[in-house]
Structure formats: structure tokens, C-alpha cells
Chains A and B, each alone.
Chain A
Amino acid sequence: MKRTLFFFCLSLIVNVCLSQETINGRVTDAETHNPLGGATLKLRKTGAVFIANQDGTFSFKATSLIDTIEISFIGYNRVLKPVSEIKRSGNIGLAKSQSSLQEVTISTGYQKVSSERLSGSYVQLNKDLVNRRVSQDILSRLEDVTPGLIFNRGVLSKQNDISIRGRSTIFSNAQPLIVLDNFPYQGDISNINPNDIESITVLKDASTASIWGSMAGNGVIVITTKKGNYSRPLRVSLNSNLTIGGRPDVFYQPQMSSSDYIDIEKLLFFKGFYQNRETSTSHAPLTPAVELLIANRDGKIDNAELERSLTKLRGYDVRNDIEKYLYRNSLNQQYALSLDGGSKRNSYYLSFGYDSQLSNLVGNKNNRITFNFSNALSIIPARLELKNDISISSTKGLLNSLSVTSLSMAPGYPIYPYARFVDELGNPLALIHDYREQFALSAKQNGLLDWTFYPLDELANNDNALSVNDYRINTSLRYKIIEGVNANLIYQFNKGSNKGHTLYSQRSYFARDLENTFAQPNGDGSFSYAIPMGGILDRNISEYNSHNLRGQIDFQKKFGEGHEINALLGLEIRQKRTFGNVDRDYGYDDVHSTSKAVDYINYYKYLFSTAGLQGTIPYKNTSFEQADKNLSAFFNATYIYSGKYILTGSIRRDESNLFGVNTNQKGVPLWSAGLAWNINREFFYDLDILPLLKLRVSYGSGGNVNKGLSAYTTAYYNNGSFSSTRLPYAQITNPPNPELRWEKITTLNIGLDFSTKNNIVTGTFDFYSKKGIDLIGTIPYAPSSGITSFTGNTANTITKGFDLTINSKNLDGSLKWNTNLMLSYNRDEVTDYVTKSSIASYVSFDSGQQAVPLEGKPLFSMFSYKWAGLDPATGDPRGFLDGSPSNDYTKIFATTTPDNLVFNGSARPIVYGALRNTFSLKDFSLSFNISYRLGYYFRKNSVNYVNVLSGYGSHGDFSLRWQKAGDEQNTYVPSLPSTINNNRESFYQYAEILVEKGDHIRLQDITLSYDFLKAKNKRLPFSGIKVYLYGNNIGILWRATKSGIDPDYQFGPPARTLSAGLKIDF
């Protein structure tokens, strides 16, 4: 103690004596000892700031040795040292920072950039996050872990329908661009094995995405595959898992009971509803119940027997058979083996994958084999490098399942609810299908082929196969011209094919039906068949090949004190050709692979028609060829000053073979600019609690190509094989539109990155405003012009929102607890759309094909008719007419305008995100992800009386209908009308009462894993084993609706799955 005091006093004296002493030193990387030119040195007391020279050296005059100096550099941990210590030893080694926000290298598909140098908005999913889920495809790995990205479900959504920050187009392609390694991926994304993926980056704003120019309008997803590393010993890794899934819930959607269905059939029968079908000239089918009623009417069975038989039918529910015979548990298996390593001059990565999928639809399975080989060769070390990647993916699928719609009684007539696939003894039963039972049964007796339809035989006879192959070869050459200037040449070849094969064997209903239909009576009781006996084989082939070539120069230079420029300049040429054909063979013999000729020219009378309907034998052969060509030039530059200020800019010009456009109009220049400011590097910055604080601002534009349009009159050519003159003809699809422009989407993004001390809490906040300009839209046109609607640049939209991500380390002892929160808010509005559509088209847009935009409202808006309750006297649904309840639907529709419709709100979530908690204790790890979607509305299905009274059956709400006065207190389901009333039905289907809030919170998945590490278990023959369990689609935790419906899956949520897996690193 005394000694310390003594030295302290001494140093004080020395300090005073040493005022204005020059201090010299050098800042280096603590590990590699490379100089860190541009590092910032800051004296805390005086606030003086110095920058290290290019060689890392520095020199300054210190006024006091008791001051503390702070040394910082991008990507390195900040170091605080007393001046006195520096004076003793001027060498300062900085350790690379481990902060996740600082370390990340982002791939834009054109370059790899340190995240610190970006001014835009992106999300990077590392290997761990990509592998968190168990699945056979890569896209689903993005869900609920990518802020701002949502999988659209419900209203007008398709499979794998992704929106990044909302939708920025109306009628054009709305899907983000998917880039695999260097180029846009041309094949089917399900060909990619997720085990081969190193990382995924989602580029969200103009500054990061606009390098992709006219394809970037919907955002960009950059997928990077695994590669080997130089100077690394061989590593072998094996990953295998098994996933079991349940059957879909066939009872999820309530359905009219068989008993109610039969009651309606009785009602309709006595009204004479089935007379037309009974006397139909095409032997239109009738259900068993109606046949019984006819037999009773005709005196063939007495009343008692009728009731007995009907009672039996009332007890059946076809959904039991569907569940039992058409569905099963799913079973997926996944095996992935990879090897990687490298010498000083060579690195490699090799992988094999096998995936097998036994779908929960009986008859469907899928096997995928993937192979990847990637090799890098350093030809002249640090000067010339050659990389080669080869990828092969081959999928074979069987699609033999029987869909419920294929069991319908007639086109448009769903299956009757008391149908059965087997009798009590388990013998297969026939369904009524296409024709009346007695007609179908009599065919065989009359010398024709059997005309009955046995669903279980069909299931067994189906022979539908699909084979998908995809090859990718990527070669790149990198040459260092001089220090800081590299030239890259990258070439990629893709080839893929998709071959479908549907063989309707002679035993299949399809073949028998067609052969019978075209059977021609010979007059002596025998028939000649215009379609030869044998199977019918449909082949469907589509292939593509694509060439991509890119030349690029990267430039990197540091100069002066802390100045740095990174730039790239390149040219790219891409061409994709797609071609294919469909053909059909009749009289196909599968044993010898032969087929027979048929007469496509002459008309044949249909055997089932007593009215002399006729037709030609269906001719199915078609072919197509398409070409997609693109030419692009791009330039991107970043200027960094002293690690604090980052200025980015990019410009790109795209040209494509848009049809019928002058060459000079085929292109569009798109640009972006951005600024990032590392505030924590400022000399005045003194918040120890927030060692990282970065502000980003970017603005720019991306595009969207709509190749369906043209500036010239364009027409489709048809060879006329189906026209009555058989002359080739052309159909004008597009009137001339010299004003046609590309869709443009501009984005302003303001972002903030922060991190507290020791990265306890890190986060990112991004606000954005996107404008869709010159969006392609359709407006009605005066018909005398020759067109009734005009498709052109007719609409604008604006989308505003924010994405927030917060990661926190709540506990960091032996028990670790991390939380990741993602919150996205997104609101869009159509700002410029002159067209007003009919009221009906706004309320019913969700049953149509596409959005019906209305100015001032979100693109997907839920509208409804104002609801005035059921009429207490009749149970009619009522709306408002001049402020009072009314059931004059025609007048209600006539007086309703878009402005006085009920606007419920957006039909797509406005707020969405996920909350992920991960706990780890020793080698155990548990993680569960809760996702949420808020602020939107959906329309419930309910009973539709037009369907009920057409004998189609309908929703189970039928049993909740108004039946007597007073019921209106307890139900909103209208009474059964006496006759079909279309207006009453359209009013109820689109009334306010059926619209509900879609908000819900879902426990998406749970994963539990255990790691055995060699470090701890010396006897372990492997370097590590990971055992994991994963449960997916677990269930809804909370929903706003009381109806029990899953707003995202009105027809039934996906089945729960449970996976168990093993990952071994040798």
C-alpha cells in the first residue's frame, strides 16, 4: 500500500515534468499484426482525435500522462489505455470484434461487403438460423426469422407467396428475386437442398437491392452455398432426420350434415327441381337419395322402404372415408453428407443429399437426390484464382393421390356427403360420377366398356409421375491486376427439365369414359371404338437452359488519412430459353411402349348423348418456346472516411427483349445513394453504454418488368386446329402503347443500428417509405376504340412501415437465455387509380383472381355491406337503405357507393413478426418461436343458399340458421329462402357480420438439441454429435376471432409435424 502510494506520487511528479511529450506507436491487428491504417485515437480528457497512418503508425503530443486514450477501428473491439502505458510500449494490438452486428459479411450477389460498410437495410441469416428449422426446402427456412418478410396466406395468396415489406405492384410479378450464389436462380427453388446453404441475405431497400436493378422492386433474397476453405484439414459432416406429420383435419370446416342434405334433396325433388336432370339428354347423374325418391314416385319402392333407405344414407359421412382412404401420416427422411477442406492452393466442398417425402396424401411421394461439388484453385497465389461449382439435383415424384374434387358427381357438382368408398364388409363401392347409375351400369351389359367409377380402384390405378432435373455449373476466374484492382469473370450455365407423365391405363375411368364416349354403334349391337383400346398417355415436358456471363472489375484503394474507396463496375449478359411440349398418345401399350393413330379431324357422335352432341377426339399436342434475354451494366461505389462516414451509390441499366419495343426503350436506368454514419466513432461520442451506434439513410429505385406488355400491337398466333375453318389466325392481345414504361419502385430507408456494452442488447430499426410509380394497371376504355380495357402505367402506390429487431442476452451464466424480437409494421395505399369498379367487385375481390384497387385504400382491402341484423319476421338478412333496415337488396346495391361501403381494414397483416427465445444449459439447448400477425381482417365462410338450393350442399352454418321468430337473437345465419335469390345471397356472403379480425399469435415451433463434444468426452470417436428434436405447426396461442377458425388457414391448418435428427461432425 505504501509502495503504491509512493509510485503514484512519483508518477504525478513525472507527469508534470513530462508535459508536451511526443508519444509514438503503431496500431495493428492483435492476431495477424497487420497494420490498421485509419484507426482512430481519442484522448478522453482533451477530446483530441488522431488518425493512424496507412502503416498503422501514429504520433501525437500528450499534455498529460494521466489521460486515457481510446483506440478504435471498424470491426475491432475498442481499447482504452492510459497514455502512460502507450508511452512505455507504443504497440497497440486490437482484437477483432465478436459483435454479431459488426462482424458480418454480406453477400449482395455481386460482392461481399462488411456490414459496417452498408448504408442500406438487409437481413442476414447465418448457418445456425438457416438450420434451425427442419424442412426439405430452403424458402420455408426464412419464415418467422426474417424481419419484414412475410409469407402471404389467406386472401389471394399462392404457394410460397412472399412479400418483403408489403407488395409494390398490382398486376405484375410480386415475388422477390432469388439469387443463388451469383445469378438469379432460374430453376424450381425446391431443387435446392437447405443443407448446402451457408447463409441467406435478404436485401430490403434500394441501396442494397438496386444493384439488381429492374428485378429488385420486390426485394432480393441472396442465397449463398457452402464452399471449402484453404488450409483446412478434411471435415466430414453427416446430418440425418426423420419427420412425422399428422393427417389433415377433414372435419375442420363444418359441413351440412348428410341428414340436412337429404332433407333439402327431398324439398327440391317435390318442387320438380330434378326433372330436367332426370330427362337430360346426356344422362346427367343424380344422387342415390334422388334415385330413391324417383323409385318411390314411380311406385318401385314403398314409403317405408324409402324412409328406411334414406335413414341409412343419413348416417354416412364421406369425410370418414376420405380421412381413412385418402390421407395418412406423412413421413419425411433427410440425409446429408458433406466433406470439405483445403490445402494451401486448393479448397473443396463436396456434398450428397437424399430426401424422401411420403406425403400425407395417399399415393404421393417424392425423392430428391442432390450433389454438389465446389472447388477453388489458387493458380497464382494472391493473384489468380479459379473456382468451379457443379450442382445436380434430381427429383422423382409420384402424384397418384385422389383429390376430393376429382370425386365430384359432375363438373361443378361436389361429392354428395353420404357417399361411401367401401361397404360394411370393406368391398369397394362405386360412386355416382358423370352419368346416372342405371346408364353407367347398363354400359357393360350393352357390350361397352364398364362405365362405373370406383374411387379406390382409381387410387390404385393412377400412374402419374414427375421427374425434375436441374444442373448448374458455375465457373469464375479472379485476377488481381494490381494491388486493389481485381478483375472477375463469372460464367454460369443452368439446365433443367420437368417431365410429367400421366398414364391413364385401360382400367382407369378416364380411359374407359373417353373410349365409351367415342364408341360408334355398328347397328348390330356391337361398337367400333374411334379411340383404340389401350391406355392414354399424357406427356408434359418443359425444359430450360440459361447462360449467364458477368465481367466485373473491383477497385479498392485507401489514401490520405483514413480515406477509402471501394468500387465495382461490370457488365452482365443473361439468356434463358424455355421450351416444352405436351402430347398425348392413344391406345398406349405400356409393355411395349407403343401407341395407335386416331382421327382428329372428323366429328363423332357422343354415345352418352341422345341429342346428337358431337365432337372430335381431343387433340392435346402443343408446344412452346420462350426466350428471356437481359443485358445489364452496373456500377457501385463506397467511399469511407475515417471509418465514420460511409457514402454509397449505385447505378444500373437493364435492357431486355421486351417485345415490340424500340431498342432504346428496352432499358431503364436505376440508381441509389446512401449514407451511413458510425456515430460511436465521433470524438464527442461518450456513451459507454452504447458502444455501437450507427445511422443509415438511403434512397433509390428498383424496377419490375412486365413482359406481357408491349408498345406495339401484339398478337398471339394460333394454328387454328380447333377453329371451324382450321385456318391459322391471330388474336390481338395488346393494343399499341407507345407510352409504355417500366414499373419503378423508389424506397427511402432510414435505419439505426445499436449495441449495448458486451452486446447485451443489440438491435436494428429501419423506417421506410416505398413508392410504386407507373405501376401497370387495367382501366376500362370506351369500347369504340376497339378495346374495352386498357392495360398500361396507370397506378401509383405508397407503402410505409418499419422493421425492428432486438436481440438480448438475458442470462449469460451457465444458463444462457437469448431473446430475439422481430416487429414489422407495413401499411400500403393505392394513391393514384382513376378507375372505379362495381361495388360487387370490391366486396368480393377475395373470391376473384386479383386485387381490385381503390384509390386511398390498401391494395388488399376488406369491404362489406353494412349489417342490420336478421328480419325478426322472415329471417332475411338486412342491410340499410336510407338509414333504416331493409331487405330490398337491389336498391341497397344501387345506392351503395365505394365511399359508403363498410371498410373493415386491410385484408393482409399490418403488424407481424416473431419472438424467439433460446435457452441453453451446458450442452442442452431449447428454442421456441412465437409468431404473430395483427391488424387485418378475413371473411368467414358460411352457408350459401344458392348452393343449397342447387343441390350442392354447403357450409355447416346451415344448422344454425334462423328458423322461427326469436332466433335472430341467437344467430346471424339467415333463414332458408324458398327459391334461389342471388341478391339476398350476395348480400349475406359479403355482409359485415361475416368479417372478423384475423389477429392471432401462434406457437410456430420448438427445437431441443443436445451436443456431445469431443472436448468434453475424450473417448468420442467424432469431434461432435448433435441430437435434436423439432416440432412444427404447434398451434395458435391466441386469436381475436371467437369462431375457432385459423385466419391463415380457413380450410384447415397444416398438420403438426415432429422431427428427430442427428448431426455428426467427424
Chain B
Amino acid sequence: MRHNKEILIIAFLFISFLNSSCRKEFLEESPDKSLLVPKTLDDFQALLDNNQVMNISPALSFISADDFTITESGYNGLVTPMERNGYIWAPMEDLYEGRAINDWSVPYLQVFYCNVVLEGLQKVKLDAGNEKRWKEIKGTALFNRSFAFYNLAQLFAQPYSNARAKNTLGIPIRLSSDVNIKSTRGNLFDAYQQILADLTEAVKLLPINVSYKTRPKVASANLLLAKAYLMMGDYPNAQLYAQECIKNANGLINYNSLSTTSTRPFPIALPNSNDEVLYYSSMITYGYLSSAQTGVDLNLYQSYSQNDLRKALYYRDRGNSIYQFKGNYTGSASQFGGLSTNEAYLIKSECEARNGDFQSAMNTLNDLLKNRWKTGSFVALTAPNKEEALKIIMLERRKELVARDTRWSDLRRYNLESNLAKDLTRTIGSKAYLLPAGDLRYTLPIPVQEIQLGGIEQNPRN
């Protein structure tokens, strides 16, 4: 009998051990201290501060646009099908020859991170101590998601036209981090509405000033809103937000303060230099962008006046009439794909002209340009009418924002207006290539992985 009692005691110990709360605590410890399940504001901030994910933007637009050309031997040395086929606007549907492309997957990775953050924020208890930070993080996630959607729409959806937007295929707007949800393309109108709504909210949440260019601020959201409205042809709103942006930004750089002989004339933007940079993003690297055989379009190069500092600050003479771009706002070898104040001036100016006030438009443009010319040499530009003003502004826009991803978007929207439409041509050796205005090839195909595994509709090429 005595022994039975002992057995009972041991059995009791076993059972209580199995159910104790110690057990839960024991198994709760992380297997690796550097691992985390994002739960706190610090975690979310750390996710958004991953600049190798968040501060990257597509570059296929750079390859397909008409600002730059490559020599024949340079073209033959291009390694990826994206560059080779993208450069000549190849009509094939499988433009990337089966390769996965970062221009599609990286923005969606950004969307995924933002959705993880936005969902996680809902579970964080708000109090007086953390409210400011909570808002900033939410604003950042909303901004970053919109930035990704905006970039995707420029490449993979047709240009926005008010008449057709509701019947135009959009881009998958993913608002949940659940990877099991199937993507659908929706329509372009809804896609832009989502961007506008998120950015409008972000404006209310973001801070006026940030200490890191990789984080967005109010002016960044203002400018992205202006860009989106510009693409939608809503010029009054575009002008409004461009003005807001200029108000909230830190002014322009006077290019006279920079060294024209330097290989990297602009200050390294990160963490917090270059007053004009509102939001830092660098383009995905392709050999085409950095090749010494890639040079700016010669007509464009010659359109800069000798007293225009940009001619020397932006380009490096590589011989054989190759003028390689060196004026990256990143301050490094990476191509700048982010947002900067000069773009706000150009949007404001264009919208003022389009809205009928071409005098103001020229004033706005001159405000920008006087910072670009050698001190004392600048003569303010004038225009006799709206059409002339618009022409001047469009050229100056191209000269100022060269080597950004804006040119491709601009071509797309200009093509919707018959007087601005332009056919593009290219030659490699003896072979000539043509991209007529408004061609379907202005919309890039979606990578085959997405089509096969996600089952969404492909963009037609011809």
C-alpha cells in the first residue's frame, strides 16, 4: 500500500508538469536572438527601414525610354533579355524570356512588407506615449505601398485616360499580407483611387521633417499625390499638391555650389544630405544603366546651353560622342528613382500652364532654372502663349529629370494628346526599330511566373 502511494505521487508530478504554465514559458523562448516576429513599433520601423527592400524602384522604364542610347557593341554586351528586348521594344509577349524580373517582384515585396506593418499596427495598443510614432509608421507604410503601386502602374498598366480608366486593366492591388489570396487585376481607376486615398491619409500622418532620406515625409506624399494626379490628367489637383510639396520642402540646391569636374557631383544623399531629395530610392541595377557605352541622346545633350551647369554636372564625356550620365541624386553610382523638389516645380509649372496661367508657369520654371545656370548668366525664359509655354516646360522637364524613371511615364501620357504624341526610333548597326505613339508596347508584359502561377490576365503586345 505504501508503494502505491509513491506511485501516485510520481504520477501526479508527471501530470502536473505536463500542464503547468512553466511549460508554456519554457517553449516561448526564441530559438535565435536575432529572429523576431514583428509585433512592436520598433519591429515595424525596422521593416520599413530595410532600404534594400523599401527604397528600390523599377528601371525598365529607363531602358525603354528615349533619353539614352547604347552603341552597337554595348548592346551586344548586354546580358539580360530584359535589357536586350526592352531596349528595342521587342514585340514578343515573353519579353523577359522566362526570367523573373525584380521590376515586378520588388514593388510587390514592398507592398507585402507594408501590409505586414499595417496589419500589425492594428494590434498595437495606442497610448499618449506611442501615438506620434504609431502615426508616422502608419503614414510611412501607406506611402511606401502607394509608391510601389504607382511604379507598377507606370510599367504594367496602360496609360491612364479618364474616359477608359474604369475599363482598363489595373494592377493587382494587394491589401493583405496573406500570401494565399489570389491576385486579380481590377481596373486602373480603382488602382489610382487606392493610391490617392492612401496618400491623402499618409499626408495627415507623416512628419514634416525626417532625419533619414529613406523615410517619407509630408512633402514626399504631397509630391507623389501630385505625380498621380498628373498621370490622371487632373491638373488642378496636381498643381495643388505640387504647391503643397514646395511649401513643405527645403528649397532647391544652387548648382553653383557643386563641382562640375567631380565624378560624383552631388552629395551622398544618405543618410541626410542633398536638400532636394524628398524621398530616397535607387533604381534596380542593370548593366545598361552603368555601361560606359550608354550615353544621353545627342539632341538632348545639345539642348543644354553652355552656361547651363547641368551640362557639366550631369554628363561625363566618354569620347565618341558618348555622354554618360553622372548626375545621380543618390550621390553614388546608383541611379536615382526617388522624389525630389525640382520635380514639384516642374509639375507646378506644367499644371499652371495647362490650367491657363502660363505667366505663372514661366515664373515657376524660372525659379527652378535660375538655380541651374552659372551665377549671373541666367536670362529668364518667357513664352508668348500657353502652347509655347508648355513646349518650353516639357523640354526643361526632360532636361532636368533626365535619367529618372519619369520620361517613360511622360511619353505615355503625352501620347494621349495628338499634338504631343511622338514616335520613337532606334538603330543598332543597320537595323532600325520603331515604337509608334500609343503603341500597345508602351505597356510592358507581366512576367510569366505571375501569369502561370497567379493566373492573371496578360497585357497584349500587338
Contact = CB atoms under 8 A, between A and B. Distances in A.
A954 B116 CA distance: 50
A784 B34 contact: no
A624 B31 CA distance: 11
A241 to B, nearest CB: 42
B432 interface: no
B245 to A, nearest CB: 23
A627 B14 contact: no
A731 B29 contact: no
A5 interface: no
A810 interface: no
Interface in B70-109: 98, 100, 104-105, 108-109
B303 interface: no
A100 interface: no
Nearest to A555: B7
B44 to A, nearest CB: 9
A472 B29 CA distance: 25
A600 interface: no
Nearest to B110: A786
B108 A481 contact: no
Interface string A691-711: 000000000000000010010
Interface string B1-21: 001001100100110011000
Interface string A767-787: 000000000000011111111
A712 B39 CA distance: 11
A631 B34 contact: no
A726 B270 CA distance: 9
A790 B35 contact: no
A481 B212 CA distance: 70
Nearest to A578: B32
A658 B7 CA distance: 33
A128 to B, nearest CB: 40
Contact of A784 (B27, B172, B263): B172
A715 interface: yes
B161 to A, nearest CB: 24
B27 to A, nearest CB: 5
B38 A485 contact: no
**Most A CB within 10 A of own CB, among B31, B52, B455:** B31
A329 B50 CA distance: 52
Contact of B450 (A481, A485, A724, A784): A784
Contact of B50 (A481, A553, A731): A731
Interface stretch (B177-185, B306-314, B397-405, B434-442): B177-185
B53 interface: yes
A963 to B, nearest CB: 29
A485 B11 CA distance: 13
A557 to B, nearest CB: 13
Given A481-B7, A725-B51, A551 B14 contact: yes
Contact of B46 (A553, A624, A627, A728): A728
A529 interface: no
B115 A786 contact: yes
Nearest to B114: A786
Given A660-B37, A725-B212, A624 B32 contact: yes
B244 interface: no
A663 interface: yes
Contacts of A657: 26-31
A727 B112 contact: no
A783 B105 contact: yes
A727 B179 contact: no
Interface in B438-462: 447, 449-450, 453-456
Contacts of A573: 26
A724 B51 CA distance: 8
Interface residues of B, number: 63
B37 A783 contact: no
Interface in A912-942: none
A729 B113 CA distance: 12
B174 interface: yes
Interface in A710-758: 710, 712-718, 720, 723-733, 735-736
A1044 to B, nearest CB: 39
B328 to A, nearest CB: 14
Contact of B108 (A726, A729, A786): A786
Nearest to B268: A724
B271 interface: yes
Contact of A786 (B51, B112, B450): B112
Contacts of B10: 487, 551, 553
B431 interface: no
Contact of B36 (A485, A625, A714): A714
B38 to A, nearest CB: 6
A666 B33 contact: no
B121 interface: no
B27 A663 contact: yes
A655 B27 contact: yes
A631 B27 contact: yes
A707 B31 contact: yes
A787 B179 contact: yes
A782 B452 CA distance: 8
B375 to A, nearest CB: 28
A717 B36 contact: yes
B270 A736 contact: no
**Most B CB within 10 A of own CB, among A655, A712, A724, A783:** A783
A280 to B, nearest CB: 14
Contacts of B17: 571
B138 to A, nearest CB: 17
B340 interface: no
B373 to A, nearest CB: 28
A836 to B, nearest CB: 10
Contact of B37 (A571, A712, A731, A838): A712
Contact of B112 (A627, A633, A660, A785): A785
A785 B23 CA distance: 36
Given A716-B35, A732-B112, A727 B174 contact: no
B104 A485 contact: no
Interface string A863-901: 000000000000000000000000000000000000000
A787 B179 CA distance: 8
A616 B209 CA distance: 29
A481 B447 contact: no
Interface string B45-72: 0110111110000000000000000000
Contacts of A666: 27
Contacts of B23: 631, 655, 663
A482 interface: yes
A612 interface: yes
Nearest to A573: B26
A236 to B, nearest CB: 42
A782 B34 contact: no
A782 B116 CA distance: 18
B108 A785 contact: yes
A1021 B46 CA distance: 75
B318 to A, nearest CB: 14
A723 B30 contact: no
A726 B105 contact: no
Interface string B179-200: 1110100000000000000000
Interface in A32-57: none
A663 B179 contact: no
B105 A713 contact: no
Nearest to A623: B33
B43 interface: yes
21 contacts: A481-B6, A487-B10, A551-B13, A569-B14, A573-B26, A659-B31, A659-B37, A712-B37, A713-B37, A714-B37, A725-B51, A727-B51, A729-B46, A729-B50, A730-B46, A731-B52, A735-B112, A736-B177, A780-B449, A782-B454, A782-B455
Given A657-B31, A782-B455, 15 more contacts: A612-B263, A631-B23, A656-B27, A715-B37, A715-B38, A715-B43, A716-B34, A727-B214, A729-B47, A731-B52, A731-B53, A780-B453, A782-B456, A786-B112, A787-B179
Which are the 5 A-B pairs with shortest beta-carbon distances? A786-B112, A782-B454, A783-B105, A730-B46, A782-B453
